[in-house]
Each structure stands twice: as C-alpha cells, then as structure tokens.
Structure 1
Amino acid sequence: MFDTIQEIIDRLKLGEDSFVEFKEVKFSGEKITDPHAESLAGEICAFANTAGGVILVGVDDNGLIQGISREKLSLVENYISNACRNNCRPPVLPLMQTLMLPDATGTNQPIIKIDVAKSVFVHQTSGGRYFQRLGVTKVDLTPQELARLFQQREQSFVFDEQIIRQAAFDDLNRKLLKNFAPESRHLPWEKILENKRIVSRDEQNVLRPSVAGLLAFGDSPEQLLPSAYIEAAAYRGVEMASAAVIDSKKITGPLHQQIDDAVNFVERNMKVASIKTVGRQDFPQYDILAVHEAIVNAAAHRDYSIAGSKIRLFLFDDRLEIYSPGKLPNTITLENMADRQFTRNQLLVSFLSRQTSPHTGRYYIEARGEGVRLIIERSEAISEKQPQYRLLGDELLLTIWAALPPFSKNNEEAH
C-alpha cells in the first residue's frame, strides 16, 4: 500500500483516513515517551482487525514530516517490533520499511512505514481491548461486532493455505522446489508452483509463499513463523532440571529436515542395551519407526496458528515426551484417535506425502491413516507399556515409555 515515495507524499497532503495513520515520535533522552507502546499496538490491532493499513512513524498529525534521527532509528524499530510482539495478542508481524521523505524545508528525513495487512486472526492489545479502524481513529469493538468478527475470520481461512505477507519467493529453497515440482516446457515454473499452492499472489500481484509452502520448502521458516521449530532436550534421570541436561538442540529448517533431525536426536541420546551370546543382540529403548511416526504426526498436524508455541521433545531415562501445539478437532477424542483420521494442515500434509524419509524409505505421510496405531503397537511391543496421549490445555502430549533392557548380570553392556 502506497509503494512509491510520491504516493506517500500525496497521501500526506490528504491526511489520515481509514487506511492511514500518522505517528510522531517523542523522546526523553534514550526513552520513547510517545507513542505509548499500548497505544501503538492498538492502532496496529485496529488495522489488522479491519482491512489493513499503513502507519507512518515520524509524521505529525498534520501530515508534516518530523523525521527520526538516524542515531535513534534502531531504537524506534525495536520499539515497534516489541509492541507488535508483546502488546498485540496474537502478535502482528507487519512489514517495516525506512524511507527518506522531504520535510517542510526540503531536507530529507528518515521515517518508518509500517504496513499492516488484514489479518486472518482477531487481535487484542495486552490490555485486553479489541479495536477496529473507523475513519481516522480506532474504536472498541462491541460484543456483537466482536462475535461476528470471530465468526467471519474462523470461517474464511484455512491457515496453512494463507500467504505470508512478510515472506518473499526468495525465502524458498529452489533446489527443494525443483525436486518437488520440476520445470516444464508447457507451463511457466511459477505457475506450476501457484497451482500446487506453494506460492500465491498478493494484492500487488507479488508471489509470496503460503504457510505450508514456507514450512515445507523454506530454508528458515522459523524466521517468519517464529514458532515453527522443535525444541529438543535430553535429561539424565526422570525429572526436568537444567542441571540434568545432557543434550539440547533448537531444530530448525524445512519441515522434513526438522523431522529427520529430531529422529536423529532421539537415536543419538537413547540408550541401547546389548547382550552377547552367540552373537550380539541390541535392545534400544524405543522403536525408531514409532518415534519417526510420532514426530511426523506432531510436525504435520500441530496448530501453526498458535503464536509462541513450538513442538517440544524431551527425552528422559524412562520416557520420551512430545508436546504438540493444538487441541484435537471436534470429531476426534483421545479414545478414538487410533481409529480415526484427521488433518489440520491438509496442504502441508499433501507436500509431506510426496517427500521420502531417509529413515523409512517411504513417504513421510502415507494415506493409510495407521500412524497412531503404529506408534501404540510398536512402542508397546518393546516397552510392554502402552504410550499415553493427554490433552494439556492447548497442547497434545504423547508419552512413549522406554523399554527396560533384558540385562543378565554377567554379560551386559550399554552404550
């Protein structure tokens, strides 16, 4: 919105409206005193809850360029970012751009343009207020308006198909893309990617990745979807304590790589007992195919729309715990999930169903819908304890119990 300097200058002459807000920045030493973070967050949430808009920071209410000193640009940018993340719930991730515009004397001054897109969520401030943009100001949503907005936003989108407006085509790994969707003489490659919904065009006809496209083919999806990674830790003993951590890793990258790295993390840290009789027989704590399936399920079916909630994988001496963000769909219960299929992220699942896992030699996801049953049966076969699923608020916790090694007193080894 307002992509050229001249367009912005023209807008300044017209003043604020439903799509434009001016914000002058005031300081006391190194501290920003105006706008207040909560007030700025209110303007951002109002645009996100309505039809989107632009905030020009460094411009007074009369549309005059006051600018931001170059020495304080980083301070202001961080202030805006913190307001977006900490004072907007869920966080808003607008596009920010520093521009040079002429003040009343004709001297170019730095300003910051905040481009807020219409959101697929309903946002509130950290103070608990829901705003919408009405003319030149933000106003509180009435209970009826708020209920209607929630209904509209919930019905209008499938999250993993939405484009990420902060992302660019270059955020995708071209090698991964071409392995998945080779070029053709009959159709432009970009059109092939559009048809597969890896990318879509925004209102300005710019190609941008979908959520599923970035997760599956982005080099660093966690940079634009901050919760899109796996936090893994291995502990000595059976309790979670910082002093007991023996290995930890923030697992990032395209989703298939996250899955592989998480399985490798478990393989590297689980104990494997062995007995030497005529030959050597190994007894791993976990069935690695069951672990693979559990991590695939968590990565493919978690709720990526929950801000600040990542997959967590914790390995203890007696169990493996995998926390996956998101409640079960209405038709699925803990009791029937082994016999029912559900897919929260249909597009993402379609990508994983055509990518091959190095651990199994098969696609990450196959159409049979036997994943939960495989986890239960294969894990119980070696541990003699059935894995346990539990709902903890907005998370699904899977606990897989470690096998007890059949040690003999005279010929035991562990590694």
Structure 2
Amino acid sequence: MKLDDIKNMEATYLDYKESLETTKPVSWLKSVVAFANTKGGHIIFGVTDEEHKFIGIDNLQRTSSKISEFISTRVSPWPRFTLTPIDSEYPDKKCIDLEVAPGPDYPYYYINTQEHAIFMRHGDRSEKATPIEQNNLLLKGMNKTFDALPTSYKLPDVSFTLLAATFKKETGEDFDISRDLISMGFVTPNNIVTNAGLLLCDQGYLRQSKIVCTRWKGTEKGSVDGDALDDEEFTDASLITLLSNAEAFIRTNSKNPWTIRGMRREENSDYPFKAVREVLVNALIHRDYQIQGSEVHVDMFDDRMEIVSPGGMINGSRIQDLNLKHVPSMRRNEIISDIFGRLHYMDRRGSGIQRILSAYTNFVEQPSFYSDDTVFLVTLPNRGIATPKSPLQSGKSPLQSGKSPLQSGKSPLQSEKSPLQSGKSPLQGEENNIIKKWKEKGIDKIFREQTIEKLLEFYMRYSSEYSFNRNLLANFLEIAPNSASKIIQKCREIGIMRMEKRGVYFFTDLN
C-alpha cells in the first residue's frame, strides 16, 4: 500500500503508532480487537501520532515478530492479520502496516491476567463494547439473529390468528399452524416461542415492540404552546397491527392523505404511501430489539415527517457516508424480514431506498437518511408544501408535466360526485359495488343518504385493510365520539364493520 493511499484512508479504519508499546500493549492491541470485531483496519507503526510523519521503525524484523507474539498471546481467538513493510520518509527506514481483517470468529477479546475485554471501533476510537454490542457479537459468532432466540413462552401462551389470516390474504395459501410456525422460525420444534414469534403473535408480548406517533404543531418539538396536536402509542400487538396503526395515524394526520381507489392508491398526497410503507417496515424489521426501553418514533411536523428506529446499521456503517444507490442489503432480524417479504410488505431485492427516492423525483426537497451507533433516522419532506421541480429540473417538458388534482385546487374526492349523488360511478364499479352490498345488508334502512355518503368516503380511505377507532371516525364525520360509537355499533350489527379487539375496528370485506 502506498503512503498516499494510507493518508487518504478514513480514520475509522486507521491508527498510527510511533513505536511498538511493549509495557502497555493494550494501547494498540485494543485496536486490533476493535478492528477484528467491526470492519477491519490498519495500524501503521513508525508514524508520529499528531503530525502523522512517517519516520519508520529501527528494527523491522524484531518489531514484526513482537507484534505477532503479542497478538498470539493477548488476543483470542486469533484474528486474521498481515504485516507489510511500507516506505517511510527516510530511505533507510521502513514503517509496518498491520492490517487486521474482520471476523469471522466473533467476538474477539483482549486478554490478560485481570480481564477479558471486547473492544469496538467507534469513529476513530477503539472503546470497550457496550452490553448490547457484546450480545450482537455473540449472536454473530453463533450465526444467529435476535429474533431466532427462544423465549420463556410456550405455544399455548400465544395465538397467531392475524398472521394466518394475513398470510392467506396476501399469498393465497393456507397458513398451517403446526407446520409453518416451526419452519418459519416462530416456534422451536419443542414448541418454545422465539422472539420472532413474540413479535408476530396477536398478543405482542415483546415489551419493546412499540411505536409512538406524534403530530406536532410547527416545525420543531416544543416550538408552539400545546405543541402536540395528536399522539398515539401502539403496543401489545403483532407487528402487522403496529404497521397498520402507524400508517393509519400518518394518513389521518396528513392534510392531503393518500386514498385508496379500487385496486390502486392515489399518490398525490403529503406523504406517498410507498415511501411511508417502506420506511415503517424497515424501522420495524431492522431495528435493534435488544435495546430495552426503546421504541420506534414517528414525528410529524408541518414540513416533514421523521421516523426513528433504535439501532444503527448492522455492519457499523453510517448511511450518510454511503452512496444511496449502492447501500448493501443486510438483515438484523432474518425471520421477521423473511415473513414481511412473503407478505409483500417489503421487496426482498433490497431496492427500498430507491423506491423512497423515486416518490420524490419531481420535488426539490428530498428524503434524507442518518444513522449512528444507536439510531436510524429517515426524514420525508411534506410534498404538500415541498417545492416542485421546474420542467428543466425534472427532465420533463411543460406538456409532459401537466397538473395534479392537488395543484388544480381540487382533491379527487372534491372533483367527483358520489354514486348516490349522480347515480353513476366515475370509478366504474368500485363505489357502486360497495353501496350495493351495503344496501343488501340494510344500511339504507338505518342511516340517511348523507351519512351513507360520508361512510363511503371513510371506507375509500381505509378499505377493509386498515384499522380505525371511534375517534378517527368522529373526526372524519365531525361528530362526537359517542355518536361515532353508535354508528360503529349499528354498522357491526348489519355486518359491514367488525371489531378486531377493544377499540380497534375494520370494515368487513364483502367481496
């Protein structure tokens, strides 16, 4: 390796030592351990620490032998490393490049008579690993993930009704409880529930499986008196329910929400559904569930939405340092990643970031990504107030670009009459079909035409796929919560709504 290559290397992967410290070898051996436990790196002996002047080593052969001896006696298991002489600034002296490769026998320890210590690389420093980092290294060494570990729960303690129903709906295949729970990793052959099972069971027994959603006034937390317009905490439920509830919260608190039109969604919305789904799914399946007392946070502001999940990138990289077109697809929780892929909640090909970015192709403001050792943050701009790109910026001619319904000042719901108003369906079937089935159930005998129209609009927003509660219905109809409860009860009695659990409702799928 040339001097220029070394000087241009990131400090995360590089340490300098003026000489070989033999009295306190931990001063450099901790970096050997840290590099082996993270992404590898180089220690250059014969370089001044402050000025980075390559002055060389006096006895190259003896120093190299000592380095190997210390590593063999003080680092366990033996890491992979090479020793290479490189030029110094003096023709009669050489420096030594100690290159340490990462893994694969994690974790690596520095050992002496007093301790066995695990070190990790944090930026340009080699520091003792946190308990969570130690656990992750142990799992990595066993080739296991957190969601595969068995828990104290047994199969009779939990149920998987929602998972089975969702699997049937999304794949068209029956979910065989006795077979699939074991083969997919939710239960061990001894009927012990794994962490993945706790995350996907109806009860949601893993305490840190939680989403906290808040709609803030203004553009910063605490910037306005009474700054929280709405907030919800979703917990004690399957990841499938948490995902659905978080999506419903975002849709409800968007001035221009996405709407479901037959088999497609209108994307002229503040936050595009595909981007929201992608970010939420990644926050749920790639977060670090070992961090106790942590949860996913969704914070909505006037101009943006921030989604924060516990745990950085699994390989220790920082997303802001990477080319977003070439971010490696790595799974922290393989079992729940696999089931979300089967349910078509995520793309198994690792193209999620590109789908997020493509939803903002026509806007100046773009999504941003940030990560460190403890968090992963995605910021989605509010497209309702974002700056549209000019035809030249977007690569489209004025004739190609046209105007969206939002730009023209009319939403899809405002610009179209309901089937009850006109007797004809602009959507050629979907709304008429819903009204027809509702009338077969007797809805026109218990509600006025105006109420049925509003319920239809509410249905087109949620369909039978997303949950809602009485407060969401009350806000939409601009009525009291008690009145909304009465409407829900009447709808349940005729079979067009159903209760999933206390306070959580769905429209009945009548197809």
TM-score w.r.t. length of structure 2: 0.43
1:374–1:211 Cα change, 3 Å: same
Aligned partner letter, 2:368 = Q
Secondary structure of residue in 1 paired with 2:305: strand
* Residue in structure 2 matching 1:255, options 227, 235, 239: 239
Aligned partner letter, 2:230 = D
CA shift, 1:397, in A, is 0.8
Aligned to 1:143: 115
Aligned to 1:370: 351
Aligned to 2:202: 219
CA shift, 1:239, in A, is 1.4
CA shift, 1:196, in A, is 2.3
Aligned partner letter, 1:235 = W
Aligned to 1:162: 149
- Stretches of structure 2 lacking an aligned partner (at least 5 in a row): 1-106, 108-112, 120-128, 168-172, 259-265, 389-403, 415-511
CA shift, 1:295, in A, is 0.7
Aligned to 2:307: 322
Aligned partner letter, 1:381 = T
Contact 1:161/1:197 (8 A) holds in 2:
yes
Distance in 2, matches of 1:273 and 1:170, equals: 39
Distance in 1, matches of 2:324 and 2:203, equals: 32
Contact 2:154/2:193 (8 A) holds in 1:
yes
Aligned to 2:217: 236
Contact 1:287/1:382 (8 A) holds in 2:
no
Aligned to 2:478: none
* Residue in structure 2 matching 1:291, options 253, 258, 276: 276
Give the structure with the larger strand fraction.
Answer: 1
Secondary structure of residue in 2 paired with 1:199: coil
Over the aligned positions, Cα root-mean-square deviation in angstroms equals 3.6
* Residue in structure 2 matching 1:307, options 279, 292, 313: 292
Aligned to 1:397: 377
Contact 2:209/2:289 (8 A) holds in 1:
yes
Secondary structure of residue in 2 paired with 1:347: helix
Aligned partner letter, 2:277 = H
Distance in 2, matches of 1:234 and 1:152, equals: 39
1:298–1:282 Cα change, 3 Å: closer
Aligned partner letter, 2:376 = L
Secondary structure of residue in 2 paired with 1:165: strand
Distance in 1, matches of 2:267 and 2:184, equals: 44
Secondary structure of residue in 2 paired with 1:327: coil
* CA offsets 1:60-116 (integer angstroms, 9 cap, x no match): xxxxxxxxxxxxxxxxxxxxxxxxxxxxxxxxxxxxxxxxxxxxxxxxxxxxxxxxx
Contact 1:382/1:403 (8 A) holds in 2:
no
CA shift, 1:331, in A, is 7.0
Contact 1:383/1:403 (8 A) holds in 2:
yes
Secondary structure of residue in 1 paired with 2:323: coil
Aligned to 2:338: 350
Secondary structure of residue in 1 paired with 2:249: helix
TM-score w.r.t. length of structure 1: 0.53
Moved more, 245-254 or 144-153: 144-153
User: What pairs with 1:11-26 in structure 2 (closer than 5 Å)?
Assistant: none
Distance in 1, matches of 2:381 and 2:117, equals: 48
Contact 1:338/1:373 (8 A) holds in 2:
yes
Aligned to 1:196: 184
Aligned partner letter, 1:171 = V
Secondary structure of residue in 2 paired with 1:365: coil
- Stretches of structure 1 lacking an aligned partner (at least 5 in a row): 1-121, 123-140, 275-280, 356-362
1:142–1:163 Cα change, 3 Å: farther
Aligned to 1:173: 160
1:273–1:226 Cα change, 3 Å: closer
- Of structures 1 and 2, the larger Rg is shown by 2
Aligned partner letter, 1:311 = V
* CA offsets 1:184-225 (integer angstroms, 9 cap, x no match): 6xxxx5354222221015xxx5x2211112212x1232xx32
Contact 1:169/1:208 (8 A) holds in 2:
no
Distance in 2, matches of 1:375 and 1:179, equals: 24
CA shift, 1:263, in A, is 1.3
Contact 1:273/1:412 (8 A) holds in 2:
no
Secondary structure of residue in 1 paired with 2:345: coil
Number of aligned residues: 250
Secondary structure of residue in 1 paired with 2:349: coil
Distance in 2, matches of 1:383 and 1:373, equals: 15
Secondary structure of residue in 2 paired with 1:164: strand
Contact 2:164/2:175 (8 A) holds in 1:
no
User: What pairs with 1:35-184 in structure 2 (closer than 5 Å)?
Assistant: 143-144=115-116, 150=134, 152=138, 155-156=141-142, 157-166=144-153, 168-174=155-161, 176-177=163-164, 180=167, 182=174
Identity %: 25
Aligned to 2:249: 265
1:170–1:179 Cα change, 3 Å: farther
Distance in 2, matches of 1:284 and 1:175, equals: 29
CA shift, 1:297, in A, is 1.2
Aligned to 1:29: none
